[in-house]
A and B are shown apart, each in its own frame.
Chain A
């Protein structure tokens, strides 16, 4: 009896204890620490998040990427730029001499930043469904516009990537990304770019909203014209796209708000010509090089690159350049040395740069149209093409042409856009690298390599060693 009582007492004790313990023990998963962090899974849940996420995609682009000439060393492979020898210019020199290395640190920076934008764009697009779940009315419009901008940006960056490095991995979602993805085909990459820009064209209105430097319909459409033109040439050679390029360009020419500035003094190089100052009728796509972003990077774009001797014109290019107001505008003779001019690229004002970086100007669109139209129709006397071409020539005080080959148009483009964004890509697209290199002056301080790795049939920058080392699939 006593024994039993003691046992009951013990059991009671154990029951109390068990209750106590069980009340403390839980079997749910432990909560992961997200305090103070912006976790992707919880973001994209308000209208403000949509805005911030969209700005995030722009931010790398505007903050660093195109504001610093160090990020596009490949432009030095073209004939409108050449590098001086010595000091810290070797990263440009490698391209100038046609032997770029996979370890080129500056070119690697450019690659890294372009992909940051792809990552930001994909992350935004990965959350489209979630964002759609809470918007309606005006907010839905905002979302549609934001999606348009983000697709535009992704298209823009892949266009830069595919024209510079050739085939690259095609990342369209950040979910489950491993870093071991293979290279995609040119076909697939261009298909995505075209899809993205079509999406953007349809989703965006004719004016930029919430910022001068935000994409609108015309930006997407102009870029699309250039994409069609490029995809019709090397390496994809989808010649049927010339007609599409001409059609897109024509729509912008006919319906867009753009026109040539009457004087070269009105196009760039000065703060009052900036888009944000409403000072320019011919800048279609432009980026602000604005000091508060980052003094050094913003300051290194154009004038400073010239000042530092980073960016010099090739002798033959200068010699062949048609005489006239445009040549005078484009170059300065500084004590017998020919440099790009302050008038075109701005006064050196390191530390207080406030000049736009022009990515696509209206004359380029006119020349895209002219070339595409001539190629699509096979008619060197196509009147609409000649109108577009002659508009550009007229401002340069050159005689109008009554017949022009596509080669004439491409050279016109080289002169008009000398030192800007397009020459290297035109050389690749038109398979004219051998021709251009053949006429390079033997008096250039830097000579071409006798065993170039950058060739007409393989004009691609080497994919950075850092990435190839980790992902051997990227080796070409």
Chain B
């Protein structure tokens, strides 16, 4: 329709300017790029108003005279000029504009810079990088694609979060998660963003970039920008995919008869008799006949996920809009686990007057999870490999066998039947979010803008769990919790931008900002129900009921100044300063966070002449950032009540009040991170190949550390500023368009990052802390925080094989007390990602590989299934075949009857390095205009993909990536049996109208 109109216009022009083009000829042609036809490209006769636009198929017709110059232009491509020499057809291939390809980088507080003007260390992930693989979470978009950003999936549970670390961990006991900013809204849960809505992600890694976010920026800042509408015809996009997932790996277990043999052997050794359940051939064969493969029973072979995405965008000169809706429904790989997301986003921008612009962004999401708590998933995963497989799922009456039926041993397994656990537990979490941001920009004077913005980020979280009785009905536990988080923020910004003498470009901003976060929670628990039939819906029926509630409030107030000076795109200077006040501190609420950076675009110098080198830039920056993430009342002297019945009820009706467990610290103040960054960017052959290298050193001082205090103070612990942690390392990013011709194109990018973490000092003269941490159900983890070593160091006994004569374990002697030593480091030497995009005609192939190298994992799950723990007294692991026994003295595992085995030993420290094919996808974009016209679409893409298809690793557990330590970096690399990352096959379709 539009095209027809254009053609008519062209005709009209032809008539108007008839005299001048009377001898003109009609030229036909096609405009294409590396990937195929380019619809909507402008074709113009230079110096005239004669022009047209290419159709869906990249075709155009235009009248031209010999000698005319035909100009073809399209956003993002180099404009081409062709002298017309009288030919009938012209085919034009557009080249992507290297400068524009480096799309502008969002650096926060309304500012974007061209990549060539960037002075800090910023990783950018664009829509192109992520649209090729079906993403369920935003963190997946960053994993392996942004250098210097380490993303660890903590569980394969559906909807489970990730641990994100930008250039290592700064804080020992504090929060190390980066600050996430979405369309100007500060401190947003990264997983509240629908990945399909993302236009670009910037990760501000160095302090000169992130210091503008001051108090919360020490862990890096992730800025997400969502899509906007553009001028032109409305575009309707519809995307859907369906995927099928299964566990990426299975653990090798003993066969049933082997299991029985080992169990009997152990029991004979411990008590002289075989297990009563396994002491006749008849019983054994019955057991074998009724045995269950619990891995098969717990894991789905094809868990189905569906995703539907519909978006509308468009705009006119004064207004543009982007509206999108999403529904995502994912089954977990474990039975009866599920995650659903509903999302609606509306971004509307309009010019109210010539000087007044209004931008609004609203995001509504609802997430509903069923039994998707990672801890619950870990229980199921452990049950799948550790639960006694000779116990059938159901007894002869059709009721669940809740516990093992093998109870005659010296110890009885405490594991619960995982099928029963999965099917009868009901743990739901529902999160409803409203995120809205409005900003009003007024062009006050020439070069001077004034901006007011305000935002709200509200989350209502409801968690309800019902835990069925492991033995009898009195043990039923159910609870409900409601949490309301409300963050509000507003800011005023003055922005000045001017260019003098064409070469001096100055930009300056002054910002005032306030933010308030409030959180309230209410919980109710019931235990001891006479029936399980009411689930968690009637807690009043419980014998014992407890309720609790709480609230917290955090206020931040900030003044920010920023200036950049750019001389002739050769010399770049950026400086910023931020003053923050936080309500969590008593005396010393304020903190000042300065930064500056310099850049030199050597390739823009007159003396620099190179055919090959298209870009050469040196950058350097320094800055300070802060961290204030402690509890809102950690500095205070608080009291607590003792739930105690005074004198058998005779206390005059008063509650006992006494000091709380935390010692006040009125002097508490910011944790400060100082970072220096040096960067080099190199582009070759019009940036066909490019390289970016960063080296950094960052030191975090006055750590917000929770320390134990001597108990004679009457208190247990105190939050203090003490100690220092250093992170240093490098990030390297490589990019190349390896092959580019009419039909075949191949682009590759790769990044590698290395970070070295070291604790420089602790409180006072302390040299080490044994945090005594536990994971999961109270399983001790051998960690140490020691000066000179990284956070995440394992410390335990040094396993040195089996004594061939006795079958006892051998532990090496060390110089340290208790004969222990440092036995591992959970921090990788390197993390890397390789992304390859190939296209041939309508086909495109994406291969994305991600890996880590040189990290250790404490495989405690392995100890469990070897039967080294009372939880599973009779081991199930196939590895037990290598157990030392009188008849197998070359066995590599200590005897089942060994008395000296240690679980916190290097026997269970394994190399966690892995290389994983994160994504491989093959797509086909339909180009046949007739076919497209038939379905009424403008474009259509079909794809198949697979995620986590294979993993190369020496790690013996289910998944080297998982960790049960959650966000605590002292517990990195701890595997007590978590749900593995699923292996997924996906079928998808994208349609554009």
Contact = CB atoms under 8 A, between A and B. Distances in A.
Contacts of A24: 490, 492, 512, 514
Interface in A15-72: 17, 20-21, 24-25, 29-41, 43, 48-49, 51-53, 55-60, 62-63
Contacts of B583: 30-33
Contacts of A43: 639, 657
B264 to A, nearest CB: 28
A467 B555 contact: no
B581 interface: yes
Contacts of A58: 646, 656
A17 B440 CA distance: 13
A297 B551 CA distance: 32
Contact of B646 (A25, A34, A59, A123): A59
Contact of A30 (B490, B555, B645, B711): B555
Interface in B641-661: 641-642, 644-648, 650-652, 654-660
A204 B806 CA distance: 70
A171 interface: yes
Contact of A33 (B490, B633, B639): B633
B289 interface: no
B582 interface: yes
Q: Which 9 A-B pairs have the closest CB atoms?
A: A119-B714, A56-B658, A59-B656, A30-B583, A33-B632, A467-B710, A120-B658, A211-B647, A38-B639
Given A37-B638, A38-B639, A52-B654, A168 B659 contact: no
Interface stretch (A76-84, A288-296, A335-343, A362-370): A288-296
Interface string A104-140: 0000100110011111101100000000000000000
Nearest to B452: A20
17 contacts: A24-B490, A35-B551, A39-B637, A39-B639, A40-B637, A41-B637, A53-B658, A58-B646, A108-B711, A118-B712, A118-B714, A120-B659, A171-B714, A174-B713, A177-B713, A210-B651, A467-B711
Contact of B710 (A34, A60, A118, A466): A466
B552 interface: yes
B657 A52 contact: yes
A9 B467 CA distance: 69
A36 B711 contact: no
Interface of B: 444-445, 450, 490, 492, 512, 514, 549-557, 581-584, 586, 589, 632-633, 635-642, 644-648, 650-652, 654-660, 663-664, 707-715, 718
A212 interface: yes
A117 B445 CA distance: 67
Contacts of B556: 30
A37 B664 CA distance: 13
A13 B494 CA distance: 13
B647 A32 contact: no
Contacts, number: 191
Contact of A36 (B450, B552, B663, B710): B552
A384 interface: no
B647 A213 contact: yes
Nearest to A472: B765
B103 to A, nearest CB: 33
A111 B711 CA distance: 8
Interface string A176-219: 01010100000000000000000000000000001111100000
Given A122-B714, A174-B714, A60 B642 contact: yes
B272 to A, nearest CB: 21
A55 B646 contact: yes
Contacts of B552: 33, 35-36
A339 B440 CA distance: 85
A293 B642 CA distance: 10
Interface string A90-114: 0000000000000000001001100
B715 to A, nearest CB: 7
B658 A33 contact: no
A293 B647 contact: no
Given A40-B659, A464-B711, A14 B444 contact: yes
Contacts of B551: 35-36
A233 interface: no
A290 B646 CA distance: 10
Contacts of A117: 714
Given A35-B553, A471-B710, A59 B658 contact: yes
Interface of A: 10, 13-14, 17, 20-21, 24-25, 29-41, 43, 48-49, 51-53, 55-60, 62-63, 108, 111-112, 115-120, 122-123, 168-169, 171, 174, 177, 179, 181, 210-214, 276, 288, 290, 292-293, 464, 466-467, 470-471, 474
Nearest to A124: B658
A30 B581 contact: yes
B638 A38 contact: yes
A202 to B, nearest CB: 23
B715 A119 contact: yes
A53 B657 contact: yes
B647 A112 contact: no
Contacts of A292: 645, 648
Given A56-B658, A212-B647, A288-B647, A169 B444 contact: no
A373 B834 CA distance: 91
Q: Dominant SS at the A interface?
A: helix
Contacts of B638: 37-40
B654 A48 contact: yes
A278 to B, nearest CB: 13
A33 B639 CA distance: 14
B714 A57 contact: no
B645 A293 contact: yes
A467 B645 CA distance: 31
Contacts of A123: 639, 658-659, 714
A122 B710 CA distance: 16
Contact of B555 (A14, A31, A40, A55): A31
Contacts of A55: 646, 651, 654-657
Contacts of A111: 711-712
B652 A211 contact: yes
A210 B650 contact: yes
Contacts of B656: 52, 55-56, 58-59
Given A32-B583, A52-B656, A470 B636 contact: no
A169 to B, nearest CB: 5
A25 B636 contact: no
Contacts of A30: 555-557, 581-583, 589
Nearest to A108: B711
Given A32-B586, A36-B551, A59-B646, A179 B639 contact: no
B657 A17 contact: no
A111 B651 CA distance: 26
A40 B639 contact: yes
Nearest to A38: B639
A445 to B, nearest CB: 23
Given A10-B444, A21-B492, A55-B657, A63 B644 contact: yes
A164 to B, nearest CB: 13
Contacts of B584: 32-33
B711 A290 contact: no
Given A36-B550, A211-B651, 16 more contacts: A13-B444, A30-B583, A32-B633, A41-B637, A51-B654, A52-B655, A55-B651, A56-B658, A115-B711, A116-B659, A174-B659, A174-B714, A179-B663, A179-B713, A276-B647, A288-B648
A10 B639 CA distance: 56
A273 to B, nearest CB: 15
B645 A120 contact: no
A467 B651 CA distance: 34
A292 B554 CA distance: 38
Nearest to B647: A211
Contacts of A112: 711
A115 B657 contact: no
Nearest to B655: A52
A171 B712 contact: yes
Contacts of A37: 633, 636, 638
A111 B710 CA distance: 11
